[in-house]
């Protein structure tokens, strides 16, 4: 093996195997140079202590006078090394910037001083004493160089050669005449330096691994901290949405309820138009609030699907009926085409409430943007196999259409085809984004085809499983378990009989609810908090309890729990339906109410019709409780 090959092999083995990333390598160097500045202080301090040891050794063993030139030189060098050690503490930043030159200068100075003082003190000593003195000097320099310096390969080799040749020269000049002893001594000195160099290169690689582990550990801790912050922010956002929903819906209930009651009075036509305008505006504001909350919940992935058996034909018919009056006022036709779908393929399983929300949004947009012609909602169910079918719903209109360059952005949040101060239609630009997210959450897709000036067609495609359970049928008034109030038709002149406990802390909402109950023919007792409600429930029998959830003193959840406990203690007492009448309308609020012992769930704001539908499931004519 040639000399060049040996050099190349040593270079590969001992070379500075830095990180491939320059930024990572710079970070590593900066980190360990920072520690290196501290080690410079330690190394210079250790060197000074070593010289103190030689000083004391010569004074005690060799009985060298403290005032001899050698001892005075040692004292001078000890003083210099002490000053250098203190300077490393004082000028840390300067040493970091000029680390390599500072290390090299200190090592060279320390090596020269050590060799000089050592050799001067032992020129007349036995060869073995001189050998150990020179070895001690070499090892001390090796520790300073390889243990603390952390220099590059070339700098390390240069200093190592300098130290080695200095030791060899000093040994040749002042050493023993015996060549074998000189050879043995030089071999040990070179071996000590070579071993120190190898250990240094090995330790440097180990330090790089430890640096990566420490860096990974710090990053993991930072990620955990950021994750905790994100979770805390998500919890705060959810709490904010819940609070805002509650705080806005509570006064909105008073506004819409008061306007609904006022609309039932014998008002002049002009005043009735004012009331209708105010009520429509309030409902539109509530719709905007619901869109914003829905979008926030979808973004936070707080929406949970509740798949249940349903018939998509009923969903299409309900969506068309909801906007039939609006379409007739505009003079356009609104048709739901589901007649060609056989009943045997319509027993599907999905979250019908979410699907209805999507369909209502699409039909609403179609009616809003169509001035002439018609809106058609068509349904198709295409069996895929024995277990699944593809549900296809098309909402087509003959409206203004959508520009081709806007179709790709149509389902993006806050995007509106019309923008600026001259747009003819309002809205948040969230409706279609919400529809897209809900459909994708259900495992489907939504697409759009449009020709400007001709019309638009939105198509929903979702693969749904067949239902193995029978479809739910209309329930009687006293049917067990809560169902959507809007699924139970009731005439506007519905009159009920019953005794209701109204638990509501808001004075306006309590007044609106009590007046609405009175208009339905129902008697009621009022309680401003859960504690009062429990006391009344203990003393008196009620047919239904309308329970607000958020109240002072005792909330509705605790009140419901205590009421159920009273019923459990009195086996002769029948179970009283508890209907949550709350402004909490976020996903999961209904399930919370039902899990706390309540039987039904009605969100604020509500009107007379909605409350009547909810109560009609629990009350009927002649169902007065016996007090």
- pLDDT per residue as tens digits for the range 294-327: 666 666 555 667 788 888 888 888 888 888 888 8
Q: Is the dihedral of CA 465, 469, 474, 476 positive or negative?
A: negative
How many other CB atoms are there within 10 angstroms of residue 429's CB atom? 17
Q: What is the mean pLDDT of residues 446-472?
A: 83
Most confident listed range (72-81, 98-107, 498-507):
498-507
Helix/strand/coil for 309: strand
Q: What's the CATH number for 306-418+427-465? A: 3.30.565.10
The least confident of 15-24, 60-69, 71-80, 198-207 is: 198-207
The three-class DSSP label of residue 341 is coil
User: 581 pairs with which residues across the strands?
Assistant: 602
Distance CA 581, CA 514 (A): 13
Domain ranges of the chain: 3-225, 306-418+427-465, 485-616
Please report the pLDDT score of residue 483 as a whole number. 36
| 3-class DSSP string for 183-248 | HHHHHHHHHHHHHHHHHHHHHHHHHHHHHHHHHHHHHHHHHHHHHHHHHHHHHHHHHHHHHHHHHH
Strand partners, 582: 603
Reduced to 3 states, what is the DSSP secondary structure of residue 308?
A: strand
Q: CA-to-CA distance for 100 and 150, rounded, in angstroms?
A: 8
Kindly report the average pLDDT of the chain as a whole number.
74
pLDDT at 88: 79
Q: Percentage of the chain with pLDDT > 90?
A: 13
Residue 562 pLDDT > 90: yes
User: DSSP letters along 387-415, please?
Assistant: SEEEEEEEEEE-SS---GGGSTTTTSTT-
Plot region of 228 (φ>0 → left; ψ -120 to 50 → alpha; else → beta): alpha
For 110-161, what is each residue's pLDDT tens digit?
Answer: 556 555 555 554 455 555 455 555 555 555 555 555 444 555 556 656 666 6
Query: Looking at the DSSP assignment, which residues form a beta bridge with residue 380?
Result: 392
pLDDT tens-digit map of 60-99? 766 667 777 767 777 887 888 788 888 878 887 787 777 6
Least confident of 106-115, 242-251, 531-540, 590-599: 106-115
DSSP H helical segments within 337-495, as ranges?
352-368, 431-441
Statement: the pTM of the whole predicted model exceeds 0.85: no
pLDDT of residue 112: 60
Q: List the helix and strand counts (H, then E) for the chain.
A: 18, 12
Instruction: Give me the pLDDT at residue 220, please.
Output: 93
Please give the class, per CATH, of domain 485-616: alpha beta
The model's pLDDT over 29-43, given as tens digits with 9 standing for 90+, comes to 777 666 666 666 777
> What span, in angstroms and rounded, lies between the C-alpha atoms of 348 and 316?
14
- Look at residue 200 and tell me whether its pLDDT is greater than 50: yes
């Amino acid at each position: 093996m040639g000399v060049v090959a040996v050099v190349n092999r040593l270079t590969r083995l001992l070379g500075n195997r830095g990180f491939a990333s320059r930024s990572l390598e710079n970070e590593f160097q900066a980190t360990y140079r920072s520690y290196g500045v501290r080690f410079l202080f330690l190394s210079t301090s250790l060197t000074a202590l070593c010289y103190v040891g030689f000083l004391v050794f010569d004074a005690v063993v060799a009985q060298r006078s403290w005032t001899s030139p050698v001892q005075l030189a040692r004292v001078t060098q000890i003083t210099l090394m002490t000053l250098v050690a203190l300077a490393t503490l004082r000028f840390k930043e300067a040493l970091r910037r000029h680390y390599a030159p500072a290390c090299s200068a200190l090592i060279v100075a320390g090596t020269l001083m050590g060799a000089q003082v050592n050799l001067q003190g032992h020129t007349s000593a036995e060869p073995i004493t001189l050998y150990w003195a020179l070895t001690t000097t070499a090892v001390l320099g090796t520790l300073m160089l390889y243990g603390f310096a952390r220099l590059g390969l070339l700098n390390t080799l240069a200093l190592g050669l300098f130290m080695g040749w200095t030791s060899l020269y000093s040994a040749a000049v002042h050493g023993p005449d015996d060549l074998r002893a000189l050879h043995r001594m030089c071999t040990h000195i070179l071996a000590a330096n070579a071993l120190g160099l190898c250990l240094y290169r090995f330790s440097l690689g180990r330090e790089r691994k430890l640096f990566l582990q420490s860096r990974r550990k710090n990053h993991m801790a930072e990620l955990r901290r950021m994750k905790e912050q994100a979770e805390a922010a998500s919890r705060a956002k959810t709490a904010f949405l819940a609070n805002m929903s509650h705080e806005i819906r509570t006064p909105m209930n008073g506004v819409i309820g008061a306007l609904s009651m006022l609309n039932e009075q014998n008002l002049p036509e002009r005043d009735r138009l004012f009331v209708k305008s105010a009520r429509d505006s309030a409902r539109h504001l509530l719709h905007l609030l619901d869109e914003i909350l829905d979008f926030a919940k979808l973004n936070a992935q707080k929406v949970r699907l509740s798949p249940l058996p349903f018939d998509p034909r009923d969903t299409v018919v309900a969506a068309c009926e909801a906007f039939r009056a609006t379409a007739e006022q505009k003079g356009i036709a609104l048709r739901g085409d589901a007649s060609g779908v056989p009943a045997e393929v319509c027993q599907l399983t999905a979250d019908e409430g979410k699907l209805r929300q999507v369909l209502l949004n699409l039909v609403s947009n179609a009616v809003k943007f169509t001035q002439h012609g018609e809106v058609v909602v068509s349904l198709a169910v295409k069996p895929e196999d024995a277990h699944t079918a593809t549900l296809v719903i098309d909402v087509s209109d003959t409206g203004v259409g959508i520009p081709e360059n806007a179709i790709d952005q149509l389902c993006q949040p806050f995007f509106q085809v019309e923008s600026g101060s001259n747009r003819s239609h309002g809205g948040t630009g969230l409706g279609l984004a919400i529809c897209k997210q809900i459909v994708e959450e259900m495992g489907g897709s939504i697409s759009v085809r449009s020709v400007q000036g001709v019309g638009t067609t939105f198509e929903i495609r979702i693969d749904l499983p067949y239902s193995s359970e029978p479809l739910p049928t209309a329930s009687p008034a006293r049917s067990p378990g809560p169902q959507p109030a809007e699924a139970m038709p009731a005439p506007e002149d519905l009159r009920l009989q019953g005794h209701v406990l109204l638990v509501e802390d808001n004075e306006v909402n309590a007044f609106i609810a009590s007046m609405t109950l009175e208009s339905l023919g129902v008697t009621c007792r009022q309680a401003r908090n859960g504690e009062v409600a429990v006391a009344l429930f203990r003393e008196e029998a009620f047919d239904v309890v309308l329970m607000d959830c958020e109240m002072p003193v005792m909330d509705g959840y605790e009140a419901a729990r205590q009421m159920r406990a009273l019923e459990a203690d009195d086996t002769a007492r029948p179970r009283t339906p508890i209907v949550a009448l709350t402004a909490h309308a976020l996903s999961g609020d209904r399930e919370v109410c039902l899990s706390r012992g309540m039987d039904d769930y009605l969100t604020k704001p509500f009107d007379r019709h909605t409350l009547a539908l909810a109560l009609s499931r629990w009350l009927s004519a002649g169902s007065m409780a016996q007090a």
